[in-house]
């Protein structure tokens, strides 16, 4: 049976304007975008009336933590994909810092199987670069690719040894797979919880310096140049990293990069006190860094936006700034935050924001999703741009409530999410 989404507002990249359209879906694929003034023949079809809401390609998040297997008290594939769908995401790529670490084909298969039975959005697993993410021994890249892994990363920790990273890149390159890097030199961090900057100074804390991230970016773009691999930088947070990626791109290195909403809207000077809901890795940086990552995203140095959704339990986060684990949840605030802070204020067009969360991640990782073109999978998010609501962590679909954005008043709330033409979530 066909499905019509009528009276939706669709962003037209060519004209740079929003237009009213009716969308026909057949067999889980986009079949047709009809003019909003036309009167389509919907007889015998199912109909969703978007009622003037935005109809966007389903959002794509290439950096998330589903915590399954092993840390299901923080999140699992059922709760994590529900949280994603509620945030408007239809494809998510999950990190391998699970228990066991996703460093073996069985764990990749477990994630894919469970996503099929209990997940409600598309789940793409990454596999670890090194066994147990310990940085000592490479995993079996060929077997992990065969099992369904889409790339290799030790997210959560940096690969400390340059030769290990070079070997990983050469092997990934030979298999046509990307290497995705959490950039952090352990010797420069040593137990610090927040960035070097005003907050650390005021509270007499040791800070995490910008170089701890950028030194890996610099090393790795050289190794990417030498090996030719597609090298993707995780959660860019510093001015120095942006500068290095910009230079590497200018000389043709095959490098791409991502940034998180929190690094675009918050600096260390916004941290209200010793509250671990403001603790994540990389940490909130200085206002100067925030400006640099915004500019990097705007000029294309940074390709995509990801949430780095990193749920932890209330008990873990209650251990305080110094002892609590790093990470904040992100699915259910990402779009409203960026829409409210950058689009409603006139800094970005709606098209710019949508592209960085749909078409660009699809391009960078070679996915067929991320577009409303005829023939594309009917992964769709219907978003209410006009209603203001308060962020209520207690109402999250995620098991995690660890967010610094509780109580923020935002616009741009998803109203319904479709995957392959089926409604998987609606308010
Ligand atoms: N970002 C975080 O602060 N934490 C992530 C790890 C990571 O993304 O490096 C986690 O797994 O909790
Ligand atoms: Zn990371
Ligand atoms: Zn992460």
pLDDT at 14 (0 to 100): 83
Numbered residues of the known binding site for Zn(2+): 63, 65, 155, 182, 235, 308
* DSSP 8-state code for residue 113: H
Two structure tokens written together for 373: 């073109």
Q: Which atom of ligand 1 is nearest to the CA of 280?
A: 3
Q: Which atom of ligand 1 is nearest to the CA of 182?
A: 9
pLDDT at 256 (0 to 100): 99
Residue among 112, 152, 107 at smallest CA distance from 133: 152
Q: Is the CB of 182 under 6 A from ligand 1?
A: yes
Q: State the DSSP H helix or E strand holding residue 47, giving kind and residue range, or none if neither.
A: strand 46-49
Q: Is the CB of residue 256 less than 8 Å from the CB of residue 233? A: yes
List all residues 6 or more positions away from 349 whose beta carbon is below 8 Å from its beta carbon: 16, 343
pLDDT at 363 (0 to 100): 98
Residue 8 CA, ligand 2 centroid: distance in Å: 37
Give the global pTM: 0.99
Q: Which atom of ligand 1 is nearest to the CA of 279?
A: 3
Q: Is the CB of 213 under 6 A from ligand 1?
A: no
Q: State the DSSP H helix or E strand holding residue 33, giving kind and residue range, or none if neither.
A: strand 29-35
* The pairing of beta strand 29-35 with beta strand 46-49: unpaired
* DSSP 8-state code for residue 64: E
Q: Is the CB of 327 under 6 A from ligand 1?
A: yes
Domains located in the chain, CATH noted: 3-55+378-426 (2.30.40.10), 58-365 (3.20.20.140)
* The pairing of beta strand 46-49 with beta strand 194-195: unpaired
Residue 234 CA, ligand 2 centroid: distance in Å: 6
Taking only the tens place, the pLDDT of each residue in 164-203 is: 999 999 999 999 999 999 999 999 999 999 999 999 999 9
What is the phi/psi pair of residue 155, to 5°? -50, 140
Two structure tokens written together for 115: 């996503």
Two structure tokens written together for 123: 């789940």
Residue 205 CA, ligand 3 centroid: distance in Å: 24
ipTM computed for the complex: 0.99
Our measurement of the distance from residue 327's CA atom to the centroid of its chain's CA atoms, rounded to an integer in Å, reads 13
Please state, in angstroms and as integers, the Cα–Cα distance from residue 198 to each residue in 194, 269, 294, 400, following that order.
10, 6, 20, 28
Task: Please give the full DSSP string across 252-292, using - where no structure is assigned.
Answer: T--EEEEE-HHHHH--GGG--SS-GGG--SSPP--HHHHHH
**Residue environment code for 157-182, b if the CB has 16+ CB neighbours within 10 A, otherwise e:** bbbbeeebbbbbbebbbeeebbbbbb
Q: Is the CB of 258 under 6 A from ligand 1?
A: no
Q: Rounded CA gap, 386 and 53, in Å?
A: 8
The neighbourhood of ligand 3, an ion, using CB within 5 A, equals 155, 308
Sheet holding 304-305, edge to edge: 179-181, 231-233, 255-259, 304-305
Q: Which atom of ligand 1 is nearest to the CA of 311?
A: 12
Q: Rounded CA gap, 67 and 332, in Å?
A: 17
Residue 325 CA, ligand 1 centroid: distance in Å: 8
Taking only the tens place, the pLDDT of each residue in 145-174 is: 999 999 999 999 999 999 999 999 999 999
Two structure tokens written together for 246: 């910009």
Q: Rounded CA gap, 112 and 264, in Å?
A: 32
Q: At what angle do helices 105-118 and 77-86 cross, to 10 degrees?
A: 60
Q: Using alpha carbons only, give the angle 98, 159, 277 rounded to the nearest 5 degrees.
A: 55
Ligand 1, atom 3, residue with closest C-alpha: 327
Q: Mutate which of 280, 306, 330 to test ligand 1's pocket (most atoms within 8 Å of Cβ)?
A: 280
Ligand closest in space to the Cα of 208:
1
Q: Is the CB of 281 under 6 A from ligand 1?
A: yes
Ligand 1, atom 4, residue with closest C-alpha: 327
Numbered residues of the known binding site: 63, 65-67, 97, 155, 182, 235, 281, 308, 312, 326-327
Residue 185 CA, ligand 1 centroid: distance in Å: 15
The residues facing 54 across adjacent strands are 9, 383
Ligand closest in space to the Cα of 66:
1
Taking only the tens place, the pLDDT of each residue in 111-153 is: 999 999 999 999 999 999 999 999 999 999 999 999 999 999 9
* The pairing of beta strand 3-12 with beta strand 413-419: unpaired
Q: Is the CB of 408 under 6 A from ligand 1?
A: no
Numbered residues of the known binding site for substrate: 65-67, 97, 281, 312, 326-327
Q: Is the CB of 280 under 6 A from ligand 1?
A: yes
Q: Rounded CA gap, 370 and 56, in Å?
A: 9
The residues facing 232 across adjacent strands are 180, 256
Q: How many CB atoms lie within 10 A of CB 287?
A: 14
* CA-derived radius of gyration, the chain: 21
Residue 308 CA, ligand 3 centroid: distance in Å: 5
The ranges of the chain with pLDDT < 70 are none
Q: Mutate which of 68, 75, 98, 155 to test ligand 1's pocket (most atoms within 8 Å of Cβ)?
A: 155
Ligand 1, atom 2, residue with closest C-alpha: 327
């Amino acid at each position: 049976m066909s499905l019509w989404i009528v009276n939706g507002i669709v962003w037209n990249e060519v004209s740079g304007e929003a237009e009213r359209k009716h969308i026909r879906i057949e067999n889980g694929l986009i079949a047709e975008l009809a003019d909003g003034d036309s009167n389509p023949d919907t007889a015998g079809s199912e109909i969703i009336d978007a009622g003037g809401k935005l109809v966007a390609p389903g959002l794509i998040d290439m950096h998330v933590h589903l915590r399954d297997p092993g840390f299901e008290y923080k999140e699992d594939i059922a709760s994590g994909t529900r949280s994603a769908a509620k945030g408007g995401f239809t494809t998510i790529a999950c990190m391998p810092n699970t228990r066991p670490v996703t460093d073996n084909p069985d764990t990749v298969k477990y994630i894919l199987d469970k996503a099929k039975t209990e997940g409600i959005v598309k789940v793409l697993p990454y596999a670890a670069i090194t066994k147990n993410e310990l940085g000592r021994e490479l995993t079996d890249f060929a077997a992990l690719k065969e099992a369904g892994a889409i790339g290799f990363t030790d997210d959560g920790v940096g690969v400390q040894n340059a030769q290990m990273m070079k070997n990983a890149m050469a092997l990934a390159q030979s298999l046509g797979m990307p290497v995705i890097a959490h950039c952090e030199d352990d010797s420069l961090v040593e137990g610090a919880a927040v960035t070097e900057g005003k907050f650390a100074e005021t509270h007499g804390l040791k800070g995490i310096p910008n170089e701890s991230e950028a030194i890996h970016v610099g090393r790795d773009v050289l190794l990417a140049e030498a090996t030719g691999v597609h090298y993707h930088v995780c959660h860019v947070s510093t001015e120095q990293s942006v500068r290095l990626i910009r230079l590497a791109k200018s000389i043709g290195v095959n490098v791409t990069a991502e940034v998180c909403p929190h690094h675009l809207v918050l600096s260390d000077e916004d941290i209200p006190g010793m509250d671990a809901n403001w603790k994540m890795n990389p940490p909130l940086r200085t206002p100067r860094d925030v400006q640099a990552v915004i500019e990097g995203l705007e000029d294309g140095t940074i390709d995509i936006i990801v949430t780095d959704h990193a749920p932890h339990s209330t008990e873990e986060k209650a251990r305080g700034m110094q002892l609590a684990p790093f990470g904040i949840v992100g699915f259910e605030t990402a779009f409203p935050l960026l829409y409210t802070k950058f689009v409603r204020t006139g800094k970005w067009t709606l098209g710019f924001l949508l592209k960085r969360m749909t078409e660009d991640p699809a391009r960078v990782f070679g996915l067929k999703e991320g577009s409303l073109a005829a023939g594309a999978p009917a992964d769709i998010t219907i978003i209410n741009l006009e209603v203001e609501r308060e962020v209520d962590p207690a109402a999250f679909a995620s098991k995690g409530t660890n967010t610094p954005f509780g109580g923020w008043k935002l616009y741009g709330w998803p109203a319904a999410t479709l995957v392959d033409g089926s409604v998987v979530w609606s308010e």
